Structure formats: C-alpha cells, structure tokens
Structure 1
Amino acid sequence: MQTASDGDPFGTAGIRQRALAAWTADPARFREDANAEEDLVRGGYRDRLLVELAQNAADAAVRAGVPGHLRLELCGATLRAANTGAPLDAAGVQGLATLRASAKRDEPASVGRFGVGFAAVLAVSDEPAVLSATGGVRFGAELTRTVVTAVPGLAAEVVRRDGAVPVLRLPWPSGGTPPEGFATEAVLPLRDGAGPVVAAALADLRAELLLALPGLSVIDVVVDGAERTLRIERAPGSARITDGARTTAWAVAERSGELAAELVADRPVEERSRRGWTVTAAVPLDDDGRPVPLPPGQVLHAPTPSDEPLSLPLRLIAPFPLGPDRRHVAPGPVTDALVEAAAGTCADLVTGLPADPAVLALVPRVGLAGGELDAALCGAVLDRLRALAWLPAAADPDVRQAPERAAALDDPTEERVAAFRDVVPGLLPAGWSRRSDARTLTALGVRRIGIAEAVEAVRGVDRPPSWWAALYAAMDGADREELAALPVPLADGRTAHGPAGVLVPDAGLPVHRLGALGLRLAEPEAVAPPAARRLLERLGARPATAQAVLGDPAVRAAVETSMDAVDDALEGAPEPEELAEAVLALVAAARPAAGELPWLAELALPDAEGGWAPAGELVLPGSTLAAVLEAGSLGVLDADLAATADPDALRAVGVLDTFALVRVDDPDELDVDGVDRWVDGALDRLAPDGPLPGWPPLTAVRDLELVVDWPGALPLLVALPAEAWADVVLHGVPVPGYLRWWLSTHPVLDGRRPDRLRHPESTELQGLYEPASAAPEVLARLRPPATVADVLADVDGAIDLLHRLGDPARTVRPDVLPTVYARLSEALDGIDVDPPERVRVAPDRVAADAVVLDAPYLQPLVGSAVVPAGGAPGAVADLLDLPLAGERVRGTVTGDGQRRPWAGLPGAALAAARLGLEVLAGDVVVHEGLAVDGCAVRWWPGEDVDHVDGSPEALGRALAWRAGVWSRRQALAEAFAHPDHALELAAEDAVADQA
C-alpha cells in the first residue's frame, strides 16, 4: 500500500491507484460511479449545495470543539467556502473520494448525511479543491479523464459517455492555504452557467439554517464584495438568529436519544454505527414573545430540507432516514421511532411557550396533512398535546390543564369569560376560545359550551351584586333564547329564575326600603351598568322608575288592603309599619302631586291616638287645617311619623295640611257634602227640555262641612289649585264648580252666604244686596254677584231676588226696575215659584195690591199701583199672580172730535219719512179735550182710528203705537211739534242714517 509523502500528505496517489484498480477490475463499478456523479452534475443537488457545505463546516467545528464559522464568498466565477474547526486529514480525503461514504460514521454529533455533503459541489463545479492547514487536495474532470482514457477497458466507456467521468474518485495534491482564521476552504471554480444559480442560492440562504447545524454559529455571505452575516445565539429553549440588521427570536425544543440496535439492523453500515439522534423543533417569536407560525409550504429538515411536506407551521429538524433519492423519508421502524420522538419534541415546543392564544396556531389541523409522514407526525403531536396539561385556566393564570378538562365558551368575550370563569370548571380565557380556533380546540378534545349551558352553571350560585352586574354587561348582545333562564338577584334577597317580569330599578329608587311591597325588584348594584340594564330589559325585565313602581298593581293592592291587614291581621300581609315606610319612601321618590293618585289615601298610617287610619282621614299635627276643622272630625297623624317622613310624600298619600281635592269622572262618584244639590243646581241652568249633559272630569273639595273657622279656612281654599275653582261647562253653559257653589251657598263670609251679597264694586245691585267684605283674592274666587244677570243665572238666586224686590226695607235703582220683573219671569220660566206678598212699584216703594201694566195708554185709568212689565206683561203677571191693567179698564171715549187724515196734519211728511213710509195712511180723531171713562187722557187707540188731544206728544204716541214702533214715539212727536223745521230735521235724519 502506498503511503503519504511530504508532497502528498493525504496519500492521494494511493487513493487514485485503488480506484483505478477497482474500475479496471470491474468497469460496471466505473459506470455506477459515473452515473451517480452525473446525477449531481445535472443539478439534482444544486439547491442543496450551500446546505451541504454548511453541514460540513458544522461537523468540522464539532470535531474541533470550537464555535463554527463559515464564510461563503462568490467572487467572479469562483465560490469559496471557508470554515473553522478540524482541518482536513487523510480520513477526510478518503471520505471525499469515496462516493456515498463518510468519515463521520463514529461521530454521533455530526449532522452530515452519509456520502452526500461534498459531492454536492459537482452540481456547479468540475474542478473542486479543498485547502487546509495540513495540506490540500483537488479534483478535476480533465485530470481524471486523462488518467481513465489510458486504461484500455475504460476508454471506450468514456467515449460512450461523451467524456464524462467520476470526478471525486481521483484526488490530487493541491497547494494553497485557507484564509486566516479558518481551518479549511473549499474552492469551487464554477461551471459555465452556474454563477447566477449560486448567486441566487446565496441570496436565498436563510439564517434559520443555523438551527439545523448545532456546531455552526456564524455564516458570512459575500457576493462580489457585499457581505451579509448570519448569526445564531443559542440558549436553553431559545435562540436568537440575526440576518444582517434583523434579529429574530426563536423558541426551540430539542430531544436527543439513541435508536435501539434492532431498529437499524437493516440499514446501511454507516447508519448502524450512528444510532444517536437529536430532534429540533423551533418557531419564530414576535417582539412580545408570541409564536409566529411559519407560512404554509414547510418541509421536513432531515436535517437538510427534504421534499417531505410538513403542515405544522414550524421548523422540524430530525435525522429521518432518506431513500435513495435523498429527498424523501424511507419508511420503516426507524422512521416510526423518530416520528414519536419528533412528536414529543413538537409537543415540548408548544407546551413550553408562554400561555398565549397564538400557540394554538401550532397545533396540527386534522385533515390538512400533506403526506403520509406528515399525517403520522400530526396525529402523534395531537396525541401528546391532548394528554399534557398546558392550556391555561381563565380562573387562575398560573394553572395549566389538559385539553380534556378544558372548556371553551361559544361566542366568547373577555367580559363573558371573566364572568363565568369561576363557575364553569376549566374555562379557557377568551383569547383561547375564538371561533377561528374552534377546529383546533375540537381536535384537542376541548369541550365547547354554549351560553345557555354557561347560564345553567350560574343557577344557584351565591355571588355579590357586582359579579352579577359584570355578568349581565358581558351578556349584552347574546342570543335571547339562551339567556331566558338567567338568574337575577332581587333586592329583598330572593332570586328570580329569569329576567322576565323583573323590575330594573332606576337611579334614585329607594329599593332597599321597599321590601314590604313584595315586588320583584332587581338588586340595584347588579343592574347598575347600562349594558346590564339593556340586557335584562331585552329579556323581558321592566324598567322601574319610581313612578312606574308606584303604578304597579301589586303596590296599589297592598295600599288598598292595608287597613284590612291592620283590622283583620291578614295572613302573609306585611307589617303595617313596614308597608307604610315602604310606600312613603316610594312616594317620596316618585313625587306625585297631592290627590293625583287618590287610592294612596287608603294607606294605613298611625294616628295620634295609637291606632291606625287611612291617610286620607288624617291631618298633619299643628297644621292650619287641623285648627279650622271641628275638633275630632278627622284623625291626627302620629307626631313621630309627621316629624320624620317627607312632608310632600305625606301630602301625596292624602294626609291633610290643607283641603283635599277629589277628582272623578262622574258626579255619581263624588262623595262630598251637598253634591246632589250642586248637581240639581247645575242642571237647572240648562234648557229644561234639553238632553242630559255629558259630564267632564270633575274636581271637588271634601270636608267643607267640618269647618268651624271660616276666616282661617278661606285662605287655604283660595290657595288650592285653579282646577278646584274652575267652572264646569255643560252643553256650552258654564256653571260654578262644586267648591264655588258650596261656599256661595253657605254662610262663610261673616255668617252670610256669598250669593246673598253683592260684589263691593257692584252698582246695579245697590239697595237690593249688602256688599261682601273679604280680601280681594277671596272675592275673586267666590265671585259674589255684581249684576242682575249674575243673580238670575241661578234659580235659587232668582227666587231670592224676587222676594228681595218686595222687601220694603230695600230700594231698587230706577234703571233696574223697568225690566227686572220681566227678566225674572224669563229666568224662572217653568219653575213653580210662590208669588211674593209685595211687589216693587217704584224704586223706593212696594205694594201689596198692584196690576201689571200691559199697555202704556192704560196707566192714567188704573187706580192701583202699577208693576212695570218690561215688555213681558203676561209672563210678569203670571209670575207675580197679578192682574193685567187691560183686564181692569174698559176705556170708552166720551166727547166728539174732528176726524182728519194723518197725511194732512202738519209734520206728517217728516213722520212718514221717519217711519220709512211714502205717506201716512188712515185717519185720526182730534179732540180739544179727550176723556176716557170720564178721565182726561192724551191719546187712546181705537179699533180703526185713534183718538188724540191734538198735542204733538199725543200724535207721536198714537202713531208709534199703531205702527208698532213704540220706541220711536219721541221722534214722531218731534215731527209733529216742529213742522216748520221739517227740512232741518230731515237733514239731521239723513246725516244720522249715514253715520
């Protein structure tokens, strides 16, 4: 055997001789070696060249125990790969020259795959060389071709192969040394066309390649002088990888072990001698330490990139045995064992990461495997993740749980998970329960629970109101049907088994003072957030303002039966003290006006005698009302309650400090003094034959009959709302309301009835009525009569006036007397009235015997007193039960007169004009002295002709009576009195008509 010499330190000559001898002895072996290298030349390993060079550098560094540093430099048409570590030795050269063999079979820490590494250079170079501090070797196609063609048995094969020969089988010594600081350098003159391919590979070289090369720390990439540095800093469970100015943190998990000998029994000898394995799983992290899943299209690294697809979004590096194509994993027991090891490593990676939902992206997705190996890996990883306690628990950030014990909330939010985390065992945080991760969680075996199931879990739990508030706010927007059974804590300590019908108290409602009412009032703190209120109201709860609660039928029923509960001790009824306190607190919050809710007056309250009475039958102690009413007519409220309760609330429930208003829709519902007489008086003001009126809402005042101090009571009454004093309009006719009627018909003004007095400013009623004396505001409310019309509006007032007219102690204004009896007859038409004993015949005189003047010409012939009829003699006579003057006087004209035509009388033309006639028709008898029944008169009407004494006054009266225009008698008399001024008078008439 030839040994190495100083010029050939690695014994390359001997290696060449042995190779040639083998080829010569067996040309088939030559063809086999040539075919294998031809595969590399055709580019089958061109994409792995840089990785194979990096693996060699990593293994050299491991052998030397130094940090690995690789420099890849492309300069022109030459690629140089310099590395630190163990220098080249004879065994290494032998390995380089032995295709598909390796000198690293006893180095368990090496990562090179048997016989492939340096051979990859043939994909780009025909003249590779390796320079080392211990010497160098080179290979060359031309050198090999020259030697091989000299062998007769091989020359023909070289020709047949167009000159192609196995380059790496025949090494030659080479001079040169690696760059300073490096132990070895591969020099690769590039084949034509390989330069751009190598440049592209260098540009695409990723720093994460260092993860697969434990012995390598730095790779410098230099292309035409431009340098890029790839660096890795390793730490337990992590690595920091730098590519130029960019640094990326990676989470790393590793497992190592040794394959059982029986597993590799059928593998090549190199594999049988290297049973140790290391599996690495890694994933990049963002700035917050969360994993950043690698994009789709990952492949298994074994440790160089294979063609085995990997659906796991991480870098998996494992020494799986490869098939003859060096691209796919060979099936078998070794692969099966390494699948289990890889699955454990991936599970270590996932479970070792911080508890962040981003980790779920690393969990295998069932059904997405890219191949048989990938499917086996994913299934094995899932099996381990299902069995490990690594998922966080929302209830305790420090606790980890196995997926089978975990639960994911459907439609989760941070707030919902926070609400349910301590009542739903194993609940995952919201970020871990997203719908987008549902398939992943299902694959892990995590139980998904809907909102309805979560709601069921809170039934019966005892939690503070703030917890319920957070729960309701979190559930806002969830499906109504799933929340129908959501419990609601009530203010009185009970729990409602669903929101429907629960009262959600408004701010200001004194909820905790209303327990005696038995209402389903939600605990205020539990419904304080707007979102909580919104949810419960959407689920059927009712907003509960103080006004709404006060209007609840249950509250009204409790009030209306409160006296029964006191008297009969009703079973289940609240204590009267508690009920009174609750209702008063509610009323104080709702602020209804006094009398607005009349049923509140039935509330049982304590009185000053130690008993109980309806609120509406009690007066405030010390109030003005108590002083003006008859002692003992109404009860007095307990002094302690009066001192502590809200005064407005006491008024609202009917406790009296002034007169109480009674509001009804029908007079039949009024229970006040004299209501029937008021109704009759109101109806008397309407037409007697008209339809019955429809009554508007009515307001009355009670307890007027109990007053004993009217000077003190009237100011209280005047201060009542205007509605208490308002008129009632029936068929368009305003009639006094109950309060004004009652006061007007009772002696409330100095012991006299206001309707029997006159307003102090009245002149029309002077002499008939005494003036009322009271404060202006009292008079304004009572409205004592000021005119005859005011008196006649009321039937009783008209009857009273009828008798006042006959009172000799009274007087009547002259302008009132002429028509007052006629107006009375109209006001009392249809009313059965006893006639007065005396009648008014003059402003200051009355008479017991009188007649009603039914014609003006009769007055001189009547021997008795005359009552003015005011144009209605018949009605007046009937009213007063007196005869008409025409019934007592026959009227016979005595003496002869001269019959003359009206038209011939001086002034007749003007008189005709004033009557609107062309000429006066007919005749008139003119007497020098006219007498009727022996009594001198001025004029007397006859059936066809009138008689006059010839005076202008008589002519005017006679003509006016006959023409039916009695009111124009003075104008006609003027025409006859001044015939010589007819033109001037006619002119005045014309001007007057125009005006």
Structure 2
Amino acid sequence: MSTATDGDPFGTAGIRQRVLSAWREDPARFREDANAEEDLVRGGYRDRLLVELAQNAADAAVRAGVRGQLRLELRGTTLCAANTGAPLDAAGVQGLATLRASAKRDETAAVGRFGVGFAAVLAVSDEPALLSTTGGVRFGADPTRKQVLAVPALAAEVARRAGGVPVLRLPWPTADRPPDGYATEVVLPLRDGAVPVVAAALADLRADVLLALPGLSAVDVVVDGVVRGLRIERTPGSARLTDGPGTTTWAVAERSGELAAQLLADRPVEERARRAWTVTAAVPLDDDGRPAPLPPGQVVHAPTPSDEPLSLPVRLIAPFPLDPDRRHVAAGPVTDALVESAAATCADLVAGLPADPAVLALVPRVGLAGAELDAALCGALLDRLRALAWLPVAADREARQTPERATALDDPTEERVAALGDVVPGLLPAGWSRRSDARTLTALGVRRIGVAEAVEAVRGVARPASWWAGLYAALDGADREELAALPVPLADGRTAHGPAGVLLPDAELPVHRLAPLGLRLAEPDAVAPAEARRLLERLGAQPATARTVLADPAVRAAVGASMDAVDDPLEGRPSRTSWPRPCSRSSRRRVRRRGAALAGRAGATRRRRGWAPAGELVRPGSVLADVLAEGSLGVLDDDMAATADPDALRAVGVLDTFGLVHAEDPDDLDVDDADRWVDEVLDRLPPDGPPPRWPALTAVRDLELVTDWDRALPLVAALPAGAWADVVLDGVAVPGYLRWWLSTHPVLAGERPDRLRDPGSTELQGLYEPAAAAPEVLALLRPPASVADVLADVDAAIDLLDRLGDPVRTVRPDVLRTVYARLAGALDGIDVDPPERVRVAPDRVVTDAVVLDLPWLQPLVRVPVVPAGGAPGAVADLLDLPLASERVRGGVTAQGDRRPWAGLPGAALAAARLGAEG
C-alpha cells in the first residue's frame, strides 16, 4: 500500500490503488460509486454551489478557531474559492475521495454535511482541484477514465455510461498552492455553459448567507476584477450585514442544545456522534428598528437552503436531518424535536422585537402552510405565541401580556384606544387592532370587542368631565346603534343612561341656575368639543338653546302657568309675559327675537276653522293640494284665494308647489328624515377626516305628505336647480337632500329609485328592474347605472349583497367575477350579516361554497366556488365562508411532470375566479 511522500503528502497513490482494487474485485462497487455521484450531480447542486463552498470555508475557520474569510473569484472560465482557517489534511482528502463520508464527523460545531457538499462542484466542473498550504489534490474525469478503462471488467460499464466515471473517487497530487493569506483554495475549471450560471450565482449571493455560517465573518465576491464585500458583525440579539455599500441590521434569536441519543438511533453513524444543535431565527429591521418581514417564497435552511417551503417571513436555520437528495427534511423523531426548538427560537425572535404592529406579520397564518414541515413549524410557533407574554397594553406601553388576556377593538382609532385604555382590561394599541390583522389576532386567541361592548365597559365608571369629552370626541363617527346606551354625565351630578333626550347647553346658558327645573342638562365640560356635541346630537341629544329649554315639557309647564294668552293672532307676540326666575335676561331677549321672526314669516290668514300660518296653507285648486294627503296641510279660504293677488299669497308663504327650506347648518333643516340624510352623507366621507364644513343647504319640505307621486314628480322636477344640487363636502360630492329623499322612498310606481336601474344600463341587468319615468325625471333621480353607483352607498351595497343571493335573479358573468371583491372593499369595516345564499354562477346560488384562494386547488374542491375577484381573504370574511385551502388537506406523494400553470386543464377558469392573469 502506498504511503505519503514529499510529492504526495496525502497518500493519493494509495487511495487510488485501494479504490481501483476494490472496483476490479467487485465491478458492482464501481456502479454504486458512479450512480451515487450521478445522483449528487442530478440533485441540482448548481444553485447551491456557492453556499456549499462557503460552508466548507466556515468549517475550516471553526477548526482553526479564527474569524473565517472567503474569496470567491471568477477568473475567465475558472471559479476560485480561497478561504482562511485549518488547511487540508490527509483525513480530509480521504473524506473527499470517500463519497458520503467526512473528516468532520466528530466536530460538533461544523456546519458541513459529511463531505457530500464538495460534490456540488461536479455541477459545473469535471476537473476540480483543492489546494492547501499543506499540499494539494486534483480530480479529473479524463485521468480517471484512463485508469478505469485499463481494467477490462470495467470497460463495458464505462461504455454503457457513455464514458461517464465517478470523478471524485481517484485523487492525484498537485504542486499548486493557494494564494498568500489563505489556507485553502478550491479551483474549478468550468465546463461549457457554466460560466454565465456561476456569474449569475455570484451576483445573487447576498450577505444574509453569513447568518447560517457562524465561522465566516467576510466574503469577497470578485467578478472581472470588481470586488463586492459581504460582511457580518454579530452582537447578542442582532447582526449587522454589509453588502457592498449597504448595511442592514437583523434581529437574531438563537437556541442551542443537545439531542437525546435515542432520537438518533435510526440516523447514519456520522450523525449519531453530532448531537449538539443550534437553531437561528432572524428577520431584517428597517431604519426605524421595526421588523421588515421577508417576501414570500422563503425556505427552511438546514443549514443550506432546502426545498422545504417556509410560510414564515423570517430566515430559519436549523440542522434538520435531510433525505439523501439533501433537498428535503427527513421525517422522524429528530425532526420532531428540532421543530419544537425552532418554534421556541422563532417565539424568542418575536418576543424580543420592539412592540410594533409589524411584528404581527411574523405570526403564522392558519391554513396557509406550504408543506407538512411548514405546517408543523407554524402550529408549534402559534402554540408558543399563545402562551407567551409579548403583546403590548395600550394603557401601559412598557407592559406585555399574553394573547388570552388581550382585547382588540373593532374599528379602532388612536383616540378611541386612548380614551378606553384604562377601562377595558388588556386593550391593544390601535395599530395592533387593524381589520387586516383580524385573522392573526383570532388565531392567537385575542378577544375582539365592538363599540357596543366598549360602551358597556364605561357604564358606571367615575371619570372627570374632560375624560368624557375625550371619549365622545373619539367615538364620533361610530355606528349609532352601538352607542345608544352611552352614558352622559349631567350638570346636577346624575348620569343619563343614553344621550337621547339630553340637553347640550351652549356657552350663554346658565346651566347651574336651571337645576331647580330638573332638566337633563349635560355637564358643560363633558360636551365642550365640537366632535362630542356632534356625536351626542346624532344619538338624540338636543342643543340646549333658550328655545329648546323652553320647549322642554318641564319648562313649558312652568312658563305656561305664568303667561297670559296671545291677545291678537295677527300680532304674533304676547301682550304680557312673566318669565320664570331661572331664565336670564339674554335668554328672554333671544326668545322674543325668535317669536317676532316666526310671526313675520307666518303671516296669518283666516280659514273656516280659524287662523293658520300662511306657510301651513296650500292654494285651493293647485296640483300640490291634490297630491298631498287630505288634511295634512290647511287649504286657504276659497274667497280669499279668489280675491287675493296670487303673487302676494305666494310671497307671504301660501303654497302652490313644494316649499324650500334653507339653512346654514344641517341641524336647522326642519324636514323629514334630515338626520338620516346627514348620517348617510357623513358615511360617504373618509372615516378619519376632520369634521366637514357644510355649505349653505337647500331642502324641500312636505315630501312625506305626498300620496300621488305620479302627479307630484313633475312638480318636484320643476323646482329650482338649487334644490337638486349635490352637496360638496371636503371635495366629495354627495346627493343633496331632495335627490336622496326621493331615491330612498317608493316614488316610482311604488319602487325606490335606488333599488331600480337606469334603463340604459347593461351592467346591472338581471339584478335590478329598469326604472320607468320621464327622461327629465330620471336624469334628476339618477337611478344606478353601474356596480360602482350601487357601491357608493352602504345601504345600497348591502342590498346588492342580498340580491346576489336571490335565486330568481341573474348576473352578468363579467360582473360576477369581481362583484364580491368589490363589495368586500365597499363594506370593509361595516358590520354586515353574511348572506344565507351566495352566487357561484350567473344563474346559480347555493348555501354551501368555498372561496378559491389558490388556483391549483380548484380540481380538488368538491363544493361550488365563489369568484374571489383577486381578494379571496376579504371575500371569505364578508361571506363567512372558508377558503379552499382550509378545506383541502394533502401533500405531494410523488414526483410528477412539471408543466406550465397556463397549460393545465381549468387554469383559465380558476384564474378568472381569482381575478388573476391566466
């Protein structure tokens, strides 16, 4: 047997002699070695060659106890990888020439996988060489083939393989040495076609590869003489990565331990001796120190990139045992144990990050796992996060709580959370309660509450008036029904259990002097902000001006007992007035001014049963008199109508068409459903915008009294343009009062115009009946002509949702593809009951369906599919339906032919239902 000599320091001659003798004696071993090497080459190591080289460099640095450095240089058609650290030795050469064996089997800190990684060089080179300060070896297909063909028993096998031989089994010595400053250099003359592939791999190599290589601190990438430096600076809990001119900080969590010996009983011998493990989880941070989750498409690093998908947007590095192809993790007790350790490490990473809502992106999404290992990792991590105190508390930003103790507010704002933080236990900050994170919070077990539950929490609490003012201002814009029981502190120390009927005092009203009257006057400081007053007025409170105070039943009784009757109805003012002592002089002046204005506008005339204000009378014989309900308004005396000048009657207010009402503030519009109109106008404005500045408003009175709309509509259509004008608030045009009222009442043959469609509309065919009226009337009423018109109004959008589930209706196919997604966007943030039936085809509705979120699941789904229009998650939430990925469970059990997605049967249909490109 040959031994090492000065010209052959590693005894390569002896290695060749032993290998050739074994092949000669047993040709089957030659076939096994050739097949094993071919399997490694077919494994596709070209895409991970650089990582394998870096891994070997890291292990060499660990063996030498130095900070490793690697230089990857493309010189023409040759790739050179020079590294510092421990030089090559005889055991290392023996490991290289013995497939699936390694000299690193006893090194617990090594990253490499038992010599298999060096085989990656065969993906690009037939003549690899390994040069070291202690000597060098080279391999080659040509010299190996020459040696093998000299053995007659092997020649036929080589011919059958078209000249293919196992390159890495026969080493030869070489006198070449690595460049100065480096212990070892791998030299790879690249085969034809490999140069652009290697150049692209060098360009794609990023500094984050160093996270998986604790022995390496620097990599220099050199192409055409241009150097790009990759560097890592490790500190506890973080790492600074430099890639050329850019530097990124990563948050890093690590855990280490040792596997129990029995877990490794079924693993190869080399693995049984390496029971120590280290798991690393890392995520980059932005310039503000917040996590910047990695993009989709991550894989598990074990420690080199595997083919195991990872839905978590982090870098996970764990020494999972691999199948022989080194692409997939092998199932078994070792993997199970490392899954728990990896989940604990990821939980450490999440808990160690700053308390920012961006952290929620690192929480696993239920039902979105990419494979069995990913599902196990996500499930274990979710269990850890549910039991870990890591969520912030709104009332104490330094405190942390477990998800089961946390509470998320629906439709949160910073102001609402600030107001409720000290009365709702465990309330999360507003940024942590976004609707987009609802599924994540639900998966964690966080309790969600609506505004109604928050209102219930404040009932009975004792807080200063300024706190209540802040609460009311914060709740402005919330749903009115949820606020019906909102407490209101009163000026006399009592608390009203709801705003309805509460009086809101103005600055001039002597609130505390009015206490003897027992009025429900709100504490002035609690309702001082404009937003607070606006909210309470929407909920039924009334401004406590002198007029409203005197209109209160208690005050009316007091005043009525102290006032004489009016002497002359034409004068319209009292002859003598004795005022209750609590009223101030300024209040009395205001009431007197108001009475005079009413008398001057009312201008009394006589009718058969007495006197009435002119504005409450209609001219006999007019169309208006015929279309109004009998007795709803008085009719002017026939004699006076026949003798008086019509223009004079019209000037004093007698009606022969619908009367107009003008106001500077919507609260002063004394017309039917004015408060509903205001609410719907405000619903169309951005929810987080400032209070709108109202322009001068024009409304039409007495619409609710009409009994014959066929004759009334021409009268309404003839009203001045100002009555029909849209109202523009903060740049948003919304329907004025007249158009809104007519659109929401059955004025067209017993139907509401907003529940019909423009006769010329094709988009809404099948969903809405066409409106029938004179063209000039339809132009003013504007029945919807498109889905966008319908979605502009919340109530109309909810009605459309119901119509889609109506089996007697039909929908155009192009409308159906996107209508549910558009509805989900229009109703985002609105509490809507899911429909009982959903539409899955233009003419078909069902009660059980799924929303398609992954196109390749369509052939596996056994229930009808709802078109998602590109927003499957939002559509599933709106309809309260499962996603297809939540219904289909399975995994890949065999390798199949890869075909382009667009060529699969049904691909176009699935893409259309998803709202995606085919």
Q: TM-score range by the shorter chain?
A: 0.5 to 0.7
Distance 1:124 1:462, change over 3 A: same
Are the aligned partners of 1:424 and 1:454 in contact in 2 as well (CA < 8 Å)? yes
Output one character per residue of 1:483-508: Cα deviation in whole Å (capped at 9) or x when no partner: 11011111111111001111112233
Aligned-pair CA distance for 1:42: 4.5
Are the aligned partners of 1:263 and 1:334 in contact in 2 as well (CA < 8 Å)? yes
Letter aligned with residue 142 of structure 1: D
Alignment of 1:30-109 (within 5 A): 30-42=30-42, 44-109=44-109
Between the aligned partners of 1:261 and 1:138, the Cα distance in structure 2 is: 38
For residue 287 of structure 1, what is the aligned residue in structure 2? 287
Alignment of 1:203-282 (within 5 A): 203-282=203-282
Letter aligned with residue 540 of structure 1: G
Between the aligned partners of 1:693 and 1:442, the Cα distance in structure 2 is: 68
For residue 110 of structure 1, what is the aligned residue in structure 2? 110
Distance 1:483 1:600, change over 3 A: farther
Between the aligned partners of 1:663 and 1:114, the Cα distance in structure 2 is: 100
Distance 1:193 1:562, change over 3 A: same
Distance 1:319 1:454, change over 3 A: same
For residue 513 of structure 2, what is the aligned residue in structure 1? 513
Paired residue secondary structure (2:52): helix
Distance 1:523 1:159, change over 3 A: same
Distance 1:61 1:664, change over 3 A: closer
Between the aligned partners of 2:183 and 2:424, the Cα distance in structure 1 is: 64
Between the aligned partners of 2:463 and 2:129, the Cα distance in structure 1 is: 80
Aligned-pair CA distance for 1:65: 1.1
Letter aligned with residue 518 of structure 2: G
Are the aligned partners of 2:509 and 2:587 in contact in 1 as well (CA < 8 Å)? no
Aligned-pair CA distance for 1:156: 2.2
Are the aligned partners of 2:559 and 2:579 in contact in 1 as well (CA < 8 Å)? yes
Distance 1:598 1:130, change over 3 A: farther
Aligned-pair CA distance for 1:696: 11
Are the aligned partners of 1:131 and 1:186 in contact in 2 as well (CA < 8 Å)? yes
Are the aligned partners of 2:486 and 2:497 in contact in 1 as well (CA < 8 Å)? yes
Aligned-pair CA distance for 1:662: 14
Are the aligned partners of 2:82 and 2:184 in contact in 1 as well (CA < 8 Å)? yes
Letter aligned with residue 601 of structure 1: S
Q: Does residue 1:21 correspond to 2:21, yes or no?
A: yes
For residue 498 of structure 2, what is the aligned residue in structure 1? 498
Alignment of 1:392-471 (within 5 A): 392-471=392-471
Between the aligned partners of 1:161 and 1:696, the Cα distance in structure 2 is: 114
- For 2:578, which of 590, 597, 601 is the aligned residue? 601
Aligned-pair CA distance for 1:95: 1.3
TM-score under structure 2 length normalisation: 0.62
For residue 775 of structure 2, what is the aligned residue in structure 1? none
For residue 825 of structure 2, what is the aligned residue in structure 1? none
Paired residue secondary structure (1:514): helix
Paired residue secondary structure (1:386): helix
Between the aligned partners of 1:499 and 1:18, the Cα distance in structure 2 is: 97
Letter aligned with residue 410 of structure 1: D
Gaps of 5+ in 1: 564-594, 606-644, 655-660, 666-690, 698-730, 733-995
Aligned-pair CA distance for 1:30: 1.0
Aligned-pair CA distance for 1:299: 0.7
Q: Does residue 1:174 correspond to 2:174, yes or no?
A: yes
Are the aligned partners of 2:519 and 2:554 in contact in 1 as well (CA < 8 Å)? yes
Distance 1:222 1:598, change over 3 A: farther
Output one character per residue of 1:136-189: Cα deviation in whole Å (capped at 9) or x when no partner: 111111111111211232222222222211111111111122122211110000
Are the aligned partners of 1:559 and 1:599 in contact in 2 as well (CA < 8 Å)? no
For residue 390 of structure 2, what is the aligned residue in structure 1? 390
Paired residue secondary structure (1:418): helix
Aligned-pair CA distance for 1:510: 2.4
Between the aligned partners of 1:469 and 1:299, the Cα distance in structure 2 is: 52
For residue 876 of structure 1, what is the aligned residue in structure 2? none
Paired residue secondary structure (2:116): coil
Are the aligned partners of 2:409 and 2:449 in contact in 1 as well (CA < 8 Å)? yes
Aligned-pair CA distance for 1:396: 0.6
For residue 477 of structure 2, what is the aligned residue in structure 1? 477
Paired residue secondary structure (2:266): coil
Paired residue secondary structure (2:473): helix
Are the aligned partners of 1:407 and 1:448 in contact in 2 as well (CA < 8 Å)? yes
Alignment of 1:838-917 (within 5 A): none
Are the aligned partners of 1:560 and 1:599 in contact in 2 as well (CA < 8 Å)? no
Aligned-pair CA distance for 1:14: 1.5
Aligned-pair CA distance for 1:25: 2.2
Aligned-pair CA distance for 1:309: 0.8
Q: Which has the higher contact order (CA 8 A, sep 6+)?
A: 2
Between the aligned partners of 2:561 and 2:449, the Cα distance in structure 1 is: 49
Are the aligned partners of 2:350 and 2:359 in contact in 1 as well (CA < 8 Å)? yes
Between the aligned partners of 2:268 and 2:611, the Cα distance in structure 1 is: 117
Paired residue secondary structure (1:71): strand
Between the aligned partners of 1:104 and 1:247, the Cα distance in structure 2 is: 33
Output one character per residue of 1:36-91: Cα deviation in whole Å (capped at 9) or x when no partner: 22234446211111110010011111111111111100111100000111111111
Aligned-pair CA distance for 1:296: 1.0
Aligned-pair CA distance for 1:348: 0.6
For residue 183 of structure 1, what is the aligned residue in structure 2? 183
Aligned-pair CA distance for 1:561: 5.6
Are the aligned partners of 2:125 and 2:188 in contact in 1 as well (CA < 8 Å)? yes
For residue 327 of structure 2, what is the aligned residue in structure 1? 327
Which range moves more in the overlay, 28-37 or 71-80?
28-37
Between the aligned partners of 2:440 and 2:497, the Cα distance in structure 1 is: 36
Output one character per residue of 1:948-974: Cα deviation in whole Å (capped at 9) or x when no partner: xxxxxxxxxxxxxxxxxxxxxxxxxxx
Between the aligned partners of 1:662 and 1:69, the Cα distance in structure 2 is: 95
For residue 130 of structure 2, what is the aligned residue in structure 1? 130
Aligned-pair CA distance for 1:652: 9.5
Distance 1:29 1:12, change over 3 A: same
Between the aligned partners of 1:371 and 1:693, the Cα distance in structure 2 is: 86
Between the aligned partners of 2:596 and 2:7, the Cα distance in structure 1 is: 134
Between the aligned partners of 2:253 and 2:13, the Cα distance in structure 1 is: 47
Aligned-pair CA distance for 1:476: 1.1
Distance 1:662 1:195, change over 3 A: closer
Letter aligned with residue 13 of structure 1: A
Paired residue secondary structure (1:221): strand
How many residue pairs get aligned? The number is 599
Alignment of 1:904-943 (within 5 A): none
Between the aligned partners of 2:305 and 2:313, the Cα distance in structure 1 is: 15
For residue 558 of structure 2, what is the aligned residue in structure 1? 558
For residue 855 of structure 1, what is the aligned residue in structure 2? none
Paired residue secondary structure (1:365): coil
Aligned-pair CA distance for 1:109: 1.0
Aligned-pair CA distance for 1:520: 0.9
Letter aligned with residue 142 of structure 2: E
Between the aligned partners of 2:576 and 2:113, the Cα distance in structure 1 is: 99
For residue 534 of structure 2, what is the aligned residue in structure 1? 534
Distance 1:5 1:488, change over 3 A: same
Between the aligned partners of 2:504 and 2:410, the Cα distance in structure 1 is: 28
Paired residue secondary structure (1:267): coil
Between the aligned partners of 2:500 and 2:283, the Cα distance in structure 1 is: 52
Which runs of structure 1 show a deviation greater than 4 angstroms over 4 or more consecutive aligned residues?
A: 559-563, 595-600, 645-654, 661-665, 691-697
Between the aligned partners of 2:205 and 2:287, the Cα distance in structure 1 is: 23
Between the aligned partners of 1:264 and 1:228, the Cα distance in structure 2 is: 41
Aligned-pair CA distance for 1:596: 6.1
Distance 1:496 1:42, change over 3 A: same
Between the aligned partners of 1:379 and 1:692, the Cα distance in structure 2 is: 84
Paired residue secondary structure (2:203): helix
Gaps of 5+ in 2: 564-571, 600-606, 614-642, 645-918
Alignment of 1:830-841 (within 5 A): none
Paired residue secondary structure (2:262): helix
Distance 1:69 1:322, change over 3 A: same
Paired residue secondary structure (2:296): coil
